[in-house]
Every structure is written in C-alpha cells, then in structure tokens.
Structure 1
C-alpha cells in the first residue's frame, strides 16, 4: 500500500464505515470518509470527512482522486421506513456502486472491497455450514425485500468489474464480503430496535435449534483490512474476484443470543404494554411470513484460508451494557409520542398478523 494514497471509505458516517476508517487511521494511514451526512462521533487525527452524495458521479470521482483503495460500505434501505423507498434504494445501492466502479477505473484505483450481505443468498430456506462456492444466489425476483435484491445486483457488478483495465493501464482487483447482522458498543441500528422488557421474551416460538450468525464490528473491520491486503501483489491478489462470508465464527439461537437485552433494566413507562403487543405481532408476522424456523449459518473456510481471518470472541452483553449506560433518556414528550405511535402500529400489525394467519 502506498502511504501517500489514502484509502476511501464510502458510508463513512455510518457505524461500520466510521469504525473501519478509525482502524485504518490507527495504523498511520490517512483516511477519507465520504458520506452525505457527517459522522455522529469525533473524527480522529488522520481521518478526513468529505460530504459526498454517492448518487453524484462527479462528486464520487472527486473524492476518489489520489486513493489507492476504496472500501464501498455505503448502502440504503436495510430496515425501517427506508425499505419503502425503492427508487432511492436503487439509486444508492445499484447506481452508486456503478459510480464507484467507474471512478476506480477513471482514477486508477486498483483495489475495491465491497460490503455486501448474506441476504443475497438467503431467501428463507435453511442454510447450514455453506461455503461461497457451493451456495448459489437466491433467485433475485424471490428475495423478500428490495434492499436484498439491489445488494445482489451490486455484488454481481463488483465481481464482474474484477480484472477491468484502469485508465492508466493497470488492473482493477475487487472482492466481496458478506456480513450478517452487525453489533457493537455504539451500534445504532440493531440495539435500539431490540430493546424489550424482560417479560416480553419469556416465551419462545419456532424451533429452538434454529441457528444464525452475528458479527461484531471489530471483526467486520478486521475482515475488510485483510481483504484489502489480499488484493495486493504481495499477497498474489489471492482475493481478486472472490466472495467471503464473515462472522464471529459462532452460531446461536436468536432468542438465546438476545437474552442480555431481555434482562436489561429498562424504563417501564417507556417500553410499555403497547410496544410489547406491537413486538409480539411483529414476531408473529416474521414467523408465519418468513418462516423463522430456517437456520442460516455459513462457513468461514474461505476467509480463514485466503484472508487469514481470525475472528475475536465478544460478549453481546457488553454491547448491551454500553448502550444502556450511554443512551439518552426519553423526555415526557417522547414517551407520550411513543404511546400514540405504538397504539397505531399495534392495531395495524395485529390485523395484518391476523389476516396472514387466517390465510395459512
């Protein structure tokens, strides 16, 4: 790696992109984080944030100038109301990825590491100890959400770009990483949505033997740094054109894994009965619609053998404790608003759940 050419991290304002950028900077590299929003956290020495809309090709080309590697972490539409905005999902995940690939070619950037998702191969059918070579893509038109469909298309674009000729005559080397759900001390997507009162998950549904993988953000960072190194001549470009599953190296039952959240001490007036009923209905919909009895866990053989990936062991409870101690406490107005929203969503979910159940 040329120390004079800083790596670029797209989605640098997000939790994973920010953590990756900080880790790269800690090795002495100068790092460029690009995102449409500024990171929530302090930007350390060696890291520069450049406001960039990934849907703007000229902005993408400009931010990539002088880089030696791009970590394309940015995406849109994974959860929440974002999932309803199909046009934006496509413009970020598909067109944005196309712009990144073209910018690498135009700016003579020889390495591109793409953050994909296990969703590109999972559509509800059981997956147990699968590797990258034996597990095909799930049919795109049968994937359950637009995010997964666009991520699959983008992943294929990145792999197809491997071996492309750069403007200066070099060769573009690309690889893809497929993480599952990501957690960590300051993670703002999974933890807040999984906060539940200890009574809520005193029940279980589905097969208790169902297993799945999770990924701590530090292991996410490790895998990305190793992947970039494996796209260099020093490593004989071993990762060039390859796909790797990455996770913590363990599998667990979802509800057992969430036990620390169930036991966490929460504000009872904030997490109220309405929210409990809302979550119960949501769980029922997940069960009857998406068949949560299907295990999905994958092999790390490829990442271990080719990247040298060695996931560290982490305790999910530590992340829960950090979140519970650092999260802002809700105001009375927020509590009141939450009650109103919870009541509305509860009614919608209840009738949707009932209709789905009756149609089975």
Structure 2
C-alpha cells in the first residue's frame, strides 16, 4: 500500500519503455512527403540531428525558403508529386519509414523561420483589420508550435 505523498514504485517494464532520443532513428532511412514545407523541414532537420542515415524530402516545390538549409544539413531533396506513382516509388526505394506531411494549403503551425502566418497577422493587426483573442471559444483555428507535432511524429 502506498501512503499519500509517497512515490509509487515503477514497474520494471515501465523502466524499459524509456527510449533514447535517437532510438529507432539512428542508421535508418526516412522519407518525408511535404519535406520542403515548414513542418516537413523541421522534421527532416530533427531526424538528421538524431542520427538518421538518410533523410529524403519529397515535395512538389523545387524551391522553398528552406531547401538550402535542408541540403546544407544533408537532406536529399527530391522534386516530385505524391500523385505520381513513379515519383513516390523513386523516393521510397530503400526507406525504412515514411512521414506523410504533404498537403494543400497552409497549416496553423508556427515557430522559428515560419514566414507566412505571424508576419501577416501582425500586419493586419497593425492596420486595425484584425482583432483576435487567444483561447476564445469561438476561435476557428488552433495554433500549434512546431516542436509539438514534430515530437508527436517521432514518438509515433
């Protein structure tokens, strides 16, 4: 019996569940669809930082604000369309894991280097054309800091 205020003893199997930061990443090859977008770039860079053998970005865009950074950090950038089998097959060849982040339009995810949402919101607010309240029940968008979905993706 555990008395109030006493820590509960951890079960041995719970102790085994703690993974190192690079467990399952080191030495593996990853493919990220939408990898040249904001979230895709953050994920690609994190995979490289954690010791991935190879990270491939498959994106429609041949150029984005982050392509240079991706290449400089060793990410293989592949221009291709996820609706074309041959593009996907080429990017998938030999991959151990795929993260599917390709989408039409923008996500409501922000963080360092994000250049779409926050500057636009600040301009509109400065002109008096936009007022907003964070946490208001009528809000139609949820904003998420980039590290949160990246952490969730890596845990999946």
Q: Same fold (TM over 0.5)?
A: yes
1:69–1:201 Cα change, 3 Å: same
2:75: which partner in 1? 47
Cα 1:199–1:55, aligned 2, differ >3 Å: closer, same or farther?
Answer: closer
Tell me the matched-pair count.
124
Is 1:21–1:33's contact at 8 Å kept on the other side of the alignment? yes
The structure number with the bigger radius of gyration is 1
Contact 1:8–1:31 at 8 Å: present in 2 too? Answer: yes
Counterpart CA distance in 1 for 2:96 and 2:36 is: 20
Runs of 4+ aligned residues of structure 1 deviating over 4 Å after TM superposition are 201-205
Please say if 1:222 is aligned against 2:151: yes
Is the Cα contact below 8 Å between 1:18 and 1:39 reproduced in 2?
no
Structure-1 residue corresponding to 2:112: 185
Higher relative contact order (CA 8 A, sep 6+): 2
List per-residue Cα deviations over 1:20-62 (Å, max 9, x = no partner): 1001100111211111223422223331111111121111011
Where does the alignment leave 5 or more consecutive residues of structure 1 unmatched?
Answer: 79-179, 228-360
Structure 2 residue aligned with 1:251: none
Residue 4 of structure 1 and its aligned partner are, at CA, apart by 4.3
Closer, same or farther: CA 39–28 of 1 in aligned 2, 3 Å: farther
The structural deviation recorded for 1:197 is 4.4
Q: Matches of 1:11 and 1:46 in 2, distance apart?
A: 17
Any residues of structure 2 matched to 1:1-360 within 5 Å, and which?
A: 1=24, 3-29=26-52, 30-37=54-61, 38-41=63-66, 42-43=69-70, 44-78=72-106, 181-195=108-122, 196-198=124-126, 200=128, 209-210=136-137, 213-227=142-156
TM-score of the pair, normalised by structure 2: 0.67
Q: Secondary structure at the match of 2:73?
A: coil
Q: Secondary structure at the match of 2:126?
A: coil
- Rounded to whole Å, the distance in 2 between the matches of 1:216 and 1:182 is 6
Unaligned stretches of 5+ in structure 2? Answer: 1-23
Answer 1 or 2: which has greater helix percent.
Answer: 1
Cα RMSD of the aligned pairs, angstroms, is: 2.7
> Counterparts of 2:103 and 2:131 in 1: how far apart (Å)?
34
